[in-house]
Structures are given as structure tokens and as C-alpha cells.
Amino acid sequence: MANHSQFGFQDASSPIMEELMQFHDHALMVALAICTLVLYLLAHMLTGKLSSSTINAQEIELVWTILPAMVLIMLALPSLRILYMMDEINEPDLTLKAIGHQWYWTYEYTDLKDLTFDSYMMPTADLPMGHFRLLEVDHRVIVPTGSTIRVIVTADDVLHSWAVPSLGVKTDAIPGRLNQTSFLANRPGVYYGQCSEICGANHSFMPIVVEATPLANFENWSSLSSS
């Protein structure tokens, strides 16, 4: 959960989000090195005297041609690796279907019998003490920890986007099309997200809450919810 005046990411709760945060730090270090080099060269040219060796240096031209290519490779290789990791879904343990509506979500546990429910934002007047305003819902998505969850995302009316930052998940919900993504919750907890595609007047009032619990608790919940 993000805090007020927080500049960084939320704590990662899935392997994909951990990889994304590491790549973010890696890219920032590359950008810092480039800025430092440019500032040094700028200060050197402003304070030093120009000479024929400075103007006609073939070695410098060779360096500033090869160096940017090396920097792009340093950024492209780990980026492509993470992209392939995010798209690859191998034998999921559970499949969840999320359907976006104006302005609520419908969830279907396709591996379980008769387990479907709508998830609406909880009104402020009905909000229990200690819960987050505009982020809590009446029915949370319950998933087991340590299990690969495949999420099939679609929409019923307009464009939506199913996004949970702590889990590294953001997938567009498009009417007439099925998009899929996956995540694995490392530890038990409650993870908050919101629709990340402008979908109308109440776009900011269709939150997403994913609660990760141990497998035994999930089995008890699913058996009670299906009955």
C-alpha cells in the first residue's frame, strides 16, 4: 500500500515486480552515469581552451558513436528478458476471469464450480474502521500464496484496465477480446489496485482488492463460497 509523499514503488509482492524494480534501479544508474559524463564534458568545454586536438579528435567521435550503442544494449537485454517473463504462463495453478463493467468488476473462478461474484467499491458510510476509503470493496479476490494465478481480462462495455501495482500486474480489459496475464503472490497480504484506463464518470470508483492467503485458508473459503 502506497503512503503519502512516497516517491518509490510499493513493496514488491511477486517475482515479476521484484524484477521490474531491479530493472528500474539499473536504468536509473545508467541515466545517472550519462548525466554525470555529459555535465563533466560540458564543464570541461566551458572552462578549458579549445585546441585543434579537441576539435579534430577522431578517437572521441569513435567513442561517442560506440558508447550509446553499448548503453542501449545494457538497457535492452534485461528489458527483453522481463518482457518474455511477463508473457510466459506455464501450467497455472488457478485461473481467474476478471470482467470490467461501468463501474465494477465481475470475477469468475473458472476452475471451481459456481464461484462467481461482483465486486463493488464499498461506500464510505459502510466502511469498517481501519479500511481504506475508495479502495476497499465488498467482495475481495481471494488467491492462494505461492501459486501461479492466470488472470483472463475482458470488458463488457468500454475499455478498462486491471492493475495491481504490488503484484506487477496491469492488463487492458477490451470488449470482445480476452487478454491474459499471471502473477504469483510471495506472501499473505492484501494488495490494492484500481482501474487504470479512463472508462467514464466513475472511473476512479472501481478499485481492485486481491487478498493472498495460505492454500488451506483458500480451500476453506472456496468450499464455503461454492456451497
Mean per-residue pLDDT pooled into runs of 10, the chain (227 residues):
79 92 93 92 80 64 86 92 87 93 94 90 89 92 94 94 94 94 93 92 92 93 79
Quote the CA–CA distance of 59 and 195 in Å, as a whole number: 52
pLDDT at 56: 61
Contacts of 104 (CB under 8 A, 6+ apart): 118, 119, 120, 121, 206
- Do 103 and 211 lie in one domain? The reply is yes
pLDDT at 112: 87
- Do 125 and 217 lie in one domain? The reply is yes
Contact 128, 184 (CB under 8 A): no
pLDDT at 2: 74
- Do 66 and 104 lie in one domain? The reply is no
Contact 99, 156 (CB under 8 A): yes
pLDDT at 200: 87
- Do 101 and 210 lie in one domain? The reply is yes
Quote the CA–CA distance of 227 and 225 in Å, as a whole number: 6
pLDDT at 55: 55
For residue 24, give the C-alpha cell: 528500474
Quote the CA–CA distance of 155 and 165 in Å, as a whole number: 20
- Do 40 and 129 lie in one domain? The reply is no
pTM for the model stands at 0.84
Q: What CATH number is associated with residue 212?
A: 2.60.40.420
Nearest one of 49, 70, 59, 210 to 145, comparing CA atoms: 210
- Do 73 and 125 lie in one domain? The reply is no
pLDDT at 116: 92
Amino acid (1-letter code) at residue 10 = Q
pLDDT at 8: 83
2 within a domain of the structure (yes/no): no
4 within a domain of the structure (yes/no): no
Q: What CATH number is associated with residue 46?
A: 1.10.287.90
201 within a domain of the structure (yes/no): yes
5 within a domain of the structure (yes/no): no
Q: How many domains does the chain have?
A: 2
The last residue of a domain, from among 87, 118, 147 = 87
DSSP for 78-104, please give it: HHHHHHHHHH---S-SEEEEEEEETTE
Give the bridge partners for 105, in sequence order. 100, 119
- Do 53 and 159 lie in one domain? The reply is no
pLDDT at 156: 92
Torsion of CA 95, 100, 104, 108, to 10 degrees: -20
Give the bridge partners for 193, in sequence order. 208
The last residue of a domain, from among 31, 64, 87 = 87
In a 3-state reduction of DSSP, which class is residue 224? helix
Q: 78 lies in which domain range?
A: 15-87
The last residue of a domain, from among 65, 87, 109 = 87
8 within a domain of the structure (yes/no): no
- Do 123 and 67 lie in one domain? The reply is no
- Do 165 and 126 lie in one domain? The reply is yes
3 within a domain of the structure (yes/no): no
- Do 73 and 111 lie in one domain? The reply is no
pLDDT at 119: 95
Which residue intervals of the chain are DSSP H helices? 15-47, 52-55, 58-87, 215-226
